[in-house]
A and B are shown apart, each in its own frame.
Chain A
């Protein structure tokens, strides 16, 4: 159920479990990230001709305690016939009307025929970092008279003659500051295997965020022939 006029795409919310290694059928070691994906519930279906004006489905993941959830969310989930509200939601834009109805359950089956996935998560926060770690600057020489500024950015422009920007530091100049704890998408990761029994996806390589973090997994956007 992957490519039928983009009325449905493979997409799920899940949790990062951790990394390990597995062997492929040739016996080669493959580093993988284990993701517990779904089951997700479709909590809302938006249609172009409805009041929303566009096609999308909203996914809900993990049960939340009703008394710890706000009443609007409880009501929103109850509308679809759920007994418990969900903790995490994510909308998936579609180019055609979804065949699903609110209340439907999605699990890793949706990825059965998919070869490559994009994984979105919140990267690990690194705090206030210098320019070498944050932007991969080269820093200053270790010797030849350099004192106490081996990791500094060097000149940042400004003054006269910065090509029309005189006396001003260019907007968006790469400087030190907060690194990490932002939304990051790792694209075109190879989907090594799908475990239906435990709702697991094994994705080759690394995925943003810490173990236990919430991830959004969808079929790769840019891969043309993305079926097995």
Chain B
């Protein structure tokens, strides 16, 4: 009895065929569908992706931005149908999978160097690589060990 096959079968219907591709450190615009009464509109939340965690249907990512001098973080489920679109505005050269250190920084110190994330290991990943949703986490993680 292949339990996992049945679980995968259930999840497959709710997993996006082409989930948005991005990496930790990217500056992104998250287009989120908001329903107010019977009206629907799109709200854009833009900020830095500071982490991606989970895999498969459980993938979540956190976007951080500063609003009125106050740090605001929002956690989005990657496969949520409420996420209409995700635009990558700028790639960053980061050495970590989780950018929690940005929480202690303000102003200029929160800037990230432009470029692709540093990946330690065999393959240097192109941003457009058709990877599984979990791939960015897995591939950027080894960077932590090199310090």
Contact = CB atoms under 8 A, between A and B. Distances in A.
Interface residues of A, number: 19
Contact of B82 (A15, A21, A27, A36): A27
Contact of A17 (B3, B13, B58): B3
Interface in B1-24: 1, 3, 6-7, 9-11, 13-14
Interface in A12-31: 15, 17-18, 20-23, 26-27, 29
Interface of A: 15, 17-18, 20-23, 26-27, 29, 32, 34, 36, 195, 198, 200, 202, 211-212
A198 B6 contact: yes
A23 B14 CA distance: 7
Given A17-B3, A18-B3, A212-B3, A23 B79 contact: yes
Nearest to A62: B1
B71 interface: no
B41 to A, nearest CB: 14
B6 A20 contact: no
Contacts of B11: 20, 22
Contacts of B1: 15
A211 B81 CA distance: 28
Interface of B: 1, 3, 6-7, 9-11, 13-14, 33, 35, 57-58, 77, 79-82
A22 B79 CA distance: 10
A4 to B, nearest CB: 31
B95 to A, nearest CB: 32
Contacts of B77: 29
Contacts, number: 45
Nearest to A21: B57
State the majority secondary structure of interface residues on B.
mixed
24 contacts: A17-B3, A17-B6, A17-B7, A18-B3, A18-B7, A20-B7, A20-B10, A20-B57, A20-B58, A21-B14, A21-B58, A22-B10, A22-B13, A23-B14, A23-B79, A26-B35, A27-B80, A27-B82, A29-B77, A29-B80, A36-B6, A195-B10, A200-B6, A200-B10
Contacts of A200: 6, 9-10
Contacts of B7: 17-18, 20, 34
Contacts of B82: 27
Nearest to A212: B3
A22 B14 contact: yes
Given A26-B35, A29-B77, A202 B10 contact: yes
A200 B77 CA distance: 25
Nearest to A211: B3
A32 B7 CA distance: 11
